[in-house]
Amino acid sequence: MAKIMVVDDEATLASVVRDALGNAGHRVYMETDGLTALSRMIELKPDLVVSDVMMPGMGGASLLVAMRDNAYLHDVPCIVMSGLSEDVVSDACGAHYSAFLAKPFDLRDLVAAVDRVLDGAA
């Protein structure tokens, strides 16, 4: 069972993702903005972060940079999810993420991506 932080400003989607990962046996924490999530991650030290890219305030790309600049969080893998194309996300986020999910996505694909990243296969 992994500790996973889900970050998405769309609370309904974040709740669906939280429930799907919880049903897969993980402890899941949810935040709706990047800055609050970053503060909470420092407390929790999650095993994985699943984050939206486009969010008001601190978006996913800035969140990833802040995580990589933090000695406590720099090794925490991150799955990014976005309605933008992966090329656009890759330009914004660089090599700071482990997997990409295009919105809308199937929850089975989400769980499979989480399993791959946690197993180190991503």
Taking Cα atoms as reference points, which of 61, 54, 52, 2 lies closest to residue 31?
52
| Average pLDDT over all residues of the chain | 92
More confident residue, 93 or 21: 21
How many Å apart are CA 19 and CA 86, to the nearest integer?
Answer: 25
pLDDT digits (tens, 9 = 90+) for 55-80: 888 988 899 999 999 999 999 999 99
pLDDT value for 116:
96
pLDDT value for 88:
82
pLDDT value for 121:
53
Whether 95 has a pLDDT exceeding 80, the answer reads no
Rg (alpha carbons) of the chain, rounded to whole number: 13
Q: What is the mean pLDDT of residues 15-25?
A: 96
How many Å apart are CA 68 and CA 56, to the nearest integer?
Answer: 20
**What is the longest distance spanned by two Cα atoms in the chain?**
33
Q: 21: which 2 tokens?
A: 């990962």
How many Å apart are CA 58 and CA 34, to the nearest integer?
Answer: 5
Per the structure, the complete domain to which residue 47 belongs is given by 3-118
Dihedral through CA 37, CA 43, CA 47, CA 48, nearest 10? Answer: 0
Taking Cα atoms as reference points, which of 52, 98, 42, 33 lies closest to residue 73?
42
Q: What is the CATH number of the domain that holds 44?
A: 3.40.50.2300
Our count of domains for the chain comes to: 1
